[in-house]
Chain A
Amino acid sequence: MINLLARALMMSTPLLYGSIAEVYAERTGMMVTAIEGIFLMGAWGGFVVTYLTGNLFWGVMTAMLVGVLTAALYGWITVYLKQHQVVTGVAINTLVLGLSAFFMRVIFGIPITPLTIDPLPHIHIPVLSKIPVLGVILFQQNILTYIVYLIIPLSYFVLYKTSVGLIIRSTGENPEAVDVAGLPVERIRFLVVLLAGALGGVAGSFYSIGFLGLFTTNIIGGRGWIAFAICFLGNWNPRGAFFGALIFGLAEAVGIYIQSSGVELLPNELFIALPYILTIVLTVARRSFNVPAKLGIPYKKEN
């Protein structure tokens, strides 16, 4: 049971990075529909560099960088060229699916056995990890999970207690008001999309170098979209995203646990599908949303 909860927290970590990324971006009116592709690029870039250098730190940094690059492409097309956010995102997701597979071949050819690396180690925090039950769940995780503990309260603070947060929140509600206040709407949106790219890249790397230690082109398998949905379900705030990510992480952990326990109550596929079913159920069940008023709408100024 304790192991299951520890596993759940681990599985929710990348979803948290992803959904926080969406919270920031969507608060400025930008749906980062390229999130699935950003995850995939993060997983790919993180793996490749870690494999070649043997250095996990540079792996995570590279994941962040390719996440930012993918987001920059998305942001350039949607913010500056004012193209449709959903269409652009789908196009980029399809593009990087091909790109990552292509570059794996270019770099590694067709290996006979799957390429693997040692994933990020679990760090036992001194003293705290010795606390019964909670210590095992909370303080025997890898570095990315520890960082995310800080990101949630930090994001809450930034969004609600600082001028930057006020600007971010206002941009998604009424970009015109931001413009009239003398602030550059497009630059704000573009920068926040880049931030989302950095967070999304790290999220993606969690799957390849965070615990699996390998890369396949279907490694993300829709988890970017789940992070996207968590942002909606969490009502565009960090706390909501936190609880949403925990629920999905738990669902994933339960799925893995039941599969590996060998008990065959129901077909395995059902448990693999659990997070996806949950997404649909929760999205339908959630009734009122505080959608940012200008979500998905490009800001066009006559000039």
Chain B
Amino acid sequence: MAKSGLASRLYRGEADLNIVGRRKLWFAVAGVLVLVAVLSFAVRGFSLGIEFAGGNSFQVPASVGTLEQAEAKVDAALAAKGGGAEVVTAQKVGGTSGEYYELRTGQLTAEQANEVKTEMAQSFGIQADQISGSQVSEAWGSQVTSRALLGLLIFVAVVAIYLILRFEWRMAAAAIASLFTNLVLTAGIYSLVGFEVTPSTIIGFLTILGFALYDVVVVFDKVQENTRGITANNNQTYGEAANLALNQSLMRSLNTSVVALLPVGGLLFIGAGLLGAGTLKDLGLVLFVGMAVAFLTSILLATPLLVLLKNQDPRISAHNKRVLARRGAIARGEVTPKGAPRAAAATAEETIDPEAAALAGAAPKVGARPAGKRPSGARGGRPAGGGGNRPGGAKRR
């Protein structure tokens, strides 16, 4: 019952999850994860594909025998003509038109590669043109990467300008900070799990940029709408308004993420499941991981960061003080601490139905946890530090 209640509240954008209020928790978690990721870069590094190390790969139809036989024959061919190169990995790769063995070898010169191919064709008893091959110099991967980094910088610059024009600089800063966290965490997962990094991975990595910001833009759009003219009345702190916007757009974010992940899942399924290797798998994997991380960072990081930045704005911080002062006055004067903030929090005027009642009952619970931390947080020199918390709930205790 409680679960369906949450689902249904989520559906209506009334889940009332206190995300902004717990921002210290999210920042701490994100900080730790980023630290782990960076440590992992330093200690474990990445497992790079042949495109970075330089090397050759051959694709032989699986009809030539077992993988072991194929590998042995290729090794023999390499020993004969390959000038000391060896098979690095051998893998069976699926396909809709028959299966293949993909054999990766050390770097060969063009002549060696041709000779090895001819030799392989002879020992397998097939035509040389049935063997696909690719050759990559060690500089190629780094060329792709350096161009990708350049692309990343240009993209961030362009998007920052766009976001500043479309929203404001604080939103742009929050969005881009969460974007970088997203990238670092995705790269961290790659480093920790040891997924292979190929140029295709880098492509996908850059595409995450677009998606990570997509979600953030959706949420910020709502935040902007909810906080327009917020200083005109004293009902809500900025953090509360942002949290409400977050809750209202939570379902939307969840939906857009799921919908964006579905085709990528298809890509991954075919790439990893059917083909076993190659562009589709690399792209699918990095997009899947990156988009999943993007969903979390856009919800848990971008908006709390925005609130943090916004609270530095003198106008907003003065406003937050006013709101808190007014609430204090209400608490002292009248005995309606519960009704006032609730009505303010939900712009969508709902009449009381069972769901809403359950919701109201749940509200103190949500506020309860940060209440314990409140003294340290709120008095820490930032008057509106606890803006997302329910002051009402805290006062009640």
A binds B: no
Chain B residues close to A by CB (< 8 Å): none
Chain A residues close to B by CB (< 8 Å): none
